[in-house]
């Protein structure tokens, strides 16, 4: 697991966008795993800027979102399928239908989850997965106690996650859905490269467990310690509880540029 402590969200966006740019140059048909929430916004803004400058194209690329609320009407602005369109997909040149998400409105939920796993597999798997992390250590919506081998399924959101996400629902925690469909930890672990972004003090405890804690379903993101290629991009506030912070800084500063992330 590589830990990079950045100046700010702008630097985080640049480092992640460099990796995505290189991937698209090597493989125009790359499959991207797209997180919603606040953490990846700087990455999406940087990718949009590069697209507008004619530096990258998503014309042949595919995308899969991580999760979706259950029970939101299809025209609800906080539906993750709508959010990812607004913040990223509609601002670049993905082909129509190239970005998919789990169907939170499906009548038959288990079948919809299985279909989502099949679609990811049929696309050849995710080449690069962007992740945020919840204050309770979730990735996608794999809440504490999630099986480390889980696949796409329905989950109940913790009270903490609903409180954290109430800001998107007019600060009304009761307006945040109680259930979601989410890629499982086992699903995410099959992505070839994972870039996890965390900024701000509220993420410091989860980041401490992710990077330096024991692997445990109580802090689901810790499963990433078993992944061979994970890059964790942090700001100072999110890194403040890390023990080996000086080592992470020195390692990144002395890294040869050709290595990338």
Strands 230-235 and 128-131: unpaired
Site for ligand F6R in 100-139 (CB under 6 A): 132-134, 138-139
- For this structure, is 67 an active site residue? yes
Which one from 68, 103, 127, 138 is the annotated catalytic residue? 138
Size of interface with ligand F6R, in residues (CB under 6 A): 14
Q: Is 140 in the site for ligand F6R (CB under 6 A)?
A: yes
Q: Which residue is nearest to ligand F6R (CB)?
A: 132
* Min CB(188)–ligand F6R separation in Å: 10
* Min CB(25)–ligand F6R separation in Å: 26
Q: Is 146 in the site for ligand F6R (CB under 6 A)?
A: no
- φ/ψ (deg, to 5) at 32: -105, 140
* Min CB(43)–ligand F6R separation in Å: 11
Please state, in angstroms and rounded to a whole number, the distance separating the CA atoms of residues 175 and 31: 33
* Min CB(66)–ligand F6R separation in Å: 4
- For this structure, is 136 an active site residue? yes
Listing DSSP states for the chain in one string gives -EEEEESSHHHHHHHHHHHHHHHHHH-TT-EEEE--SSTTHHHHHHHHHHHHTTS---TT-EEEESEEESS--TT-TTSHHHHHHHHTGGGTTPPTT-EE---TT-SSHHHHHHHHHHHHHHTT--SEEEE---TTS-BTTB-TT--TT--SEEEEPPHHHHHHHGGGGTT-GGGS-SEEEE--HHHHTTSSEEEEEE-SGGGHHHHHHHHHSPPBTTBGGGGGGG-SSEEEEEEHHHHTT-TTHHHHHHHHHTS-GGG--
- For this structure, is 172 an active site residue? no
- For this structure, is 164 an active site residue? no
Q: Is 157 in the site for ligand F6R (CB under 6 A)?
A: no
Q: Is 235 in the site for ligand F6R (CB under 6 A)?
A: no
* Min CB(75)–ligand F6R separation in Å: 19
Q: Is 151 in the site for ligand F6R (CB under 6 A)?
A: no
Site for ligand F6R in 36-95 (CB under 6 A): 36-39, 66-67
Candidates 31-39, 114-122, 209-217, 248-256: pick the segment binding ligand F6R (CB under 6 A).
31-39
- Footprint of ligand F6R on this chain (CB under 6 A)? 35-39, 66-67, 132-134, 138-141
The residues carrying an active-site annotation are 67, 136, 138, 143
């Amino acid at each position: 697991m590589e830990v990079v402590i950045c100046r700010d969200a702008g630097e985080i966006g640049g480092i992640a966008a460099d990796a995505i740019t290189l991937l698209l140059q090597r493989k125009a048909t790359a499959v991207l795993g797209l997180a919603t929430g606040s953490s990846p916004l700087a990455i999406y803004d940087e990718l949009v800027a590069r697209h507008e400058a004619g530096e990258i194209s998503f014309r042949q690329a595919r995308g899969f979102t991580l999760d979706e609320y259950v029970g939101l009407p299809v025209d609800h602005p906080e539906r993750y399928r709508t959010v990812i369109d607004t913040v990223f997909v509609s601002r670049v040149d993905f082909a129509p239908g190239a970005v998919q998400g789990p169907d939170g409105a499906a009548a038959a939920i288990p079948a919809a989850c299985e279909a989502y796993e099949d679609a990811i597999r049929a696309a050849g798997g995710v080449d690069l997965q962007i992740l945020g992390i919840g204050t309770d250590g979730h990735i996608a919506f794999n809440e504490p106690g999630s099986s480390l081998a889980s696949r796409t399924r329905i989950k109940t959101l913790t009270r903490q996650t609903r409180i954290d996400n109430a800001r998107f629902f007019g600060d009304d925690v009761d307006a945040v859905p109680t259930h979601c469909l989410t890629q499982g930890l086992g699903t995410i672990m099959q992505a070839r490269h994972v870039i996890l972004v965390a900024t701000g003090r509220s993420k410091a405890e989860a980041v401490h467990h992710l990077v330096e804690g024991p692997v445990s379903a109580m802090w689901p993101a810790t499963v990433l310690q078993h992944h061979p290629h994970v890059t964790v991009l942090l700001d100072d506030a999110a890194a403040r509880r890390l023990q080996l912070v000086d080592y992470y800084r020195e390692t990144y500063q002395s890294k040869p540029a050709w290595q990338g992330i």
